[in-house]
Amino acid sequence: MITGKFPNLRLRRSRKNDWSRRLIEENNITPNDFILPIFLIEGKNKKQAIKSMPGVYRYSLDKISLVVDKAIKLGIPMVALFPYTQKNKKDSLGSEALNENNLVCRAVQLIKKKFKNQIGVMCDVALDPYTSHGHDGLINSNHVANDSTIEVLINQSLLQAQMGCDVIAPSDMMDGRIGKIRKALDKNGYYMTQILSYAVKYASSFYGPFRDAVGSKGVLIGDKKNYQMDYRNSNEALREVALDIKEGADMVMVKPGLPYLDIIKLVKENFKIPVLAYQVSGEYSILSNGINKRLIDKSVILESLISFKRSGANAIISYYADRLDKILK
Ligand code: PBG
């Protein structure tokens, strides 16, 4: 594989000038590679800072057109919606997930009505923004129940599809939910609604700031290790992906991102399917706080984003996506 020998071969020759570096670049990144997450909150005229994620905000519905409009102008193909749920709307069953008037439902309708197919809308399927215990599913004798949770997730997916959601993204990690959701979508005529499976989602402490953003910080009882993956494992990631492909997933996600580039590469090389990476809240927070405190230069953002592409990711969910004009220039 490796040919040539010093001093005939000098790899620094091709690195000397910018034009030459550009000429032989192996990877690049464009706005097409991004999904912008948007946090939603009740109320009017709100742009509320999220303390643990400097530069990220929760928006009331009357403000999201501006955010989506900017995303479209930047050339971003899709936004992902996440609701901040007030305490009084949470219960042990996560009932608010099935309220056709909840924040996500209203936001999807609004965006699709106004922007049609200029941009895709993706919605998380999981109960954690809505449960009083902070778990992604229903609790049965101190354990997150698999099969009964799926029944609720099916209804949550159908509701989102009905509202106009383009991509249903189950992030709950229950076994078998992709197949059941696909079947229910098809049966109800939503056979063109895509499924992005969070097939490989690790039980991670990098999600900390997100839980603050959606209002489930301090709410979570215990941890999510009995459904999210063990970060010591990678073969198991392939089993998760293989199952979800068979069940009908159109795309799969690996999450978190930066500490799991090996998994992205492994999944891509084994299955040759669209693989998405999630640069999660903790990663965002570390980079942004490091930059704000002048510990590192802001060019770490582009460096870390390119690393996702290098590892084989087709696209990246990133909280930086709304500032791509500055980051990619
Ligand atoms: C909920 C969900 C989580 C994230 C996305 N969807 C948190 C969790 O599983 O606890 C995390 C995203 C982030 O940290 O940016 N199922």
**Could you report how far apart the first and last alpha carbons of the chain are, in Å?**
35
Per-residue pLDDT, 1: 76
CA-to-CA dists, residue 130 to 61, 82, 88, 219, 297, angstroms: 18, 11, 10, 11, 38
DSSP-derived pairing of the beta strands 143-144 and 251-255: unpaired
Superfamily of segment(s) 31-327: Aldolase class I (3.20.20.70)
CA distance 227 to 204: 12
Per-residue pLDDT, 2: 77
CA-nearest residue, atom 10 of ligand 1: 207
**226 close to 139: Cβ distance less than 8 angstroms:** no
Give the residue, out of 210, 224, 320, with the most ligand 1 atoms within 8 A of its beta carbon, to mutate for a pocket test: 210
Given 63, 112, 201, 309, the catalytic residue: 201
Task: DSSP for 154-200, please give it.
Answer: HHHHHHHHHHT-SEEEE-S--TTHHHHHHHHHHHTT-TT-EEEEEEE
Asked whether 210 lines ligand 1 (CB < 6 A), one says: yes
User: Collapsing DSSP states into helix, strand and coil, what is residue 91?
Assistant: strand
CA dihedral 131, 135, 138, 142 (to 10 degrees): -120
Q: What is the dihedral sign for C-alpha 30, 31, 33, 37? A: positive
Asked whether 219 lines ligand 1 (CB < 6 A), one says: no
Q: Cα 299 to chain center, whole Å?
A: 22
Per-residue pLDDT, 329: 85
Closest to 259 (Cα-Cα) out of 239, 236, 232: 232
Tell me if residue 51 is catalytic. no
pTM assigned to the model: 0.96
Given 63, 89, 90, 255, the catalytic residue: 255
pLDDT < 50 regions, the chain: none
Contacts of 101 (CB under 8 A, 6+ apart): none
Give the residue, out of 280, 288, 320, with the most ligand 1 atoms within 8 A of its beta carbon, to mutate for a pocket test: 280
**pLDDT (tens digit, 9 = 90+) per residue, 155-194?**
999 999 999 999 999 999 999 999 999 999 999 999 999 9
Per-residue pLDDT, 327: 97
CA distance 38 to 80: 6
Where are the chain's structural domains? 31-327
DSSP-derived pairing of the beta strands 78-83 and 120-125: parallel
Closest to 135 (Cα-Cα) out of 227, 67, 72: 227
Asked whether 126 lines ligand 1 (CB < 6 A), one says: yes
Give the bridge partners for 140, in sequence order: 143
Closest to 41 (Cα-Cα) out of 56, 54, 58: 58
Give the bridge partners for 59, in sequence order: 40, 47
Ligand 1: atom nearest CA of 317 is: 15
Asked whether 280 lines ligand 1 (CB < 6 A), one says: yes
Per-residue pLDDT, 232: 98
Tell me if residue 224 is catalytic. no
CA distance 321 to 34: 6
